[in-house]
Amino acid sequence: MRQRKTGTVEYLLFYDKIGQEEVALFLRELLRRLPGLLIVLLDNSTTHNGRPIEQLRRWHRRRRIEHFPGYAPD
């Protein structure tokens, strides 16, 4: 019998509006808590792009950040 690999759903609750720094904080927390390759799927919100996110892309090799297409009806 082959064992199936499963993913996890992680979240960090904020009570106020969030920005790029909060998104970067969440991604750093994921990197700290989860071993191995980290694949993160984000939409194209301005909070998911910018200097803090780009710094994480450059500094952390075991993470992969992918953005959904701008329009995906299916």
pLDDT, tens only, 4-49 = 667 777 888 888 888 999 999 988 888 888 888 888 888 888 888 8
The backbone torsions φ and ψ at residue 28, rounded to the nearest 5 degrees and listed phi first, read -65, -40
Classified as helix, coil or strand, 41 is strand
First to last CA, the chain: 34
Which position has the token pair 């750093």? Answer: 28
Q: At what angle do helices 51-59 and 20-33 cross, to 10 degrees?
A: 20
Residues 6+ apart with CB under 8 A from 55: 24
39-61 confidence digits (pLDDT tens): 888 888 888 888 988 888 888 77
pTM (two decimals): 0.72
Cβ–Cβ < 8 Å for 27, 51: no
